[in-house]
Amino acid sequence: MTKSLFYSESLVEQLNNKWKVHYIESGHSFYPQLEIEEARKYIKIWQFNAGTSGRSIWMFVDKENGFCYKPASTKAPAKGVRFGIDHLVNHPEHCDPYGSFLYIR
């Protein structure tokens, strides 16, 4: 297991737990959840609403160096590094279910 994959799994676990508690306490019947898919060059993190079908790409993580990218499509990331996966694991409060933290400001 690579460092990038380990950190990605850790981030997904943290966010899934945090979002589930928040949404259930807020009275929502559906809540966002993340899942990991390993591709050749990137780790794809997918988002879906628990209890529904369908999913969308949430973020790409480079397997080699742990850089995080905003998705341009389901197959490729947008240009420009947005974060390091180690930073997001240490600061999960930067992440939101909408992926707005991946936009360049």
User: 14-17: long-range contacts at Cβ-Cβ below 8 A with a sequence spacing of 24 or more?
Assistant: 14/89, 14/92, 15/92, 15/95
Higher local confidence (pLDDT), 44 or 52: 44
What pLDDT does residue 29 have? 85
Please determine, for residue 54, whether its predicted confidence score (pLDDT) is greater than 90. Answer: no
- Each residue of 4-30: pLDDT tens digit? 999 999 999 999 999 999 999 999 988
Q: For the chain, give every domain's residue range.
A: 3-102
What is the spatial order of strands in the sheet that 32-38 belongs to?
32-38, 42-49, 56-62, 67-69, 83-84
From 40, 70, 42, 39, select the one nearest 56 (Cα to Cα). 70
Q: How confident is the model at residue 100 (pLDDT cuts 50, 70, 90)?
A: very high
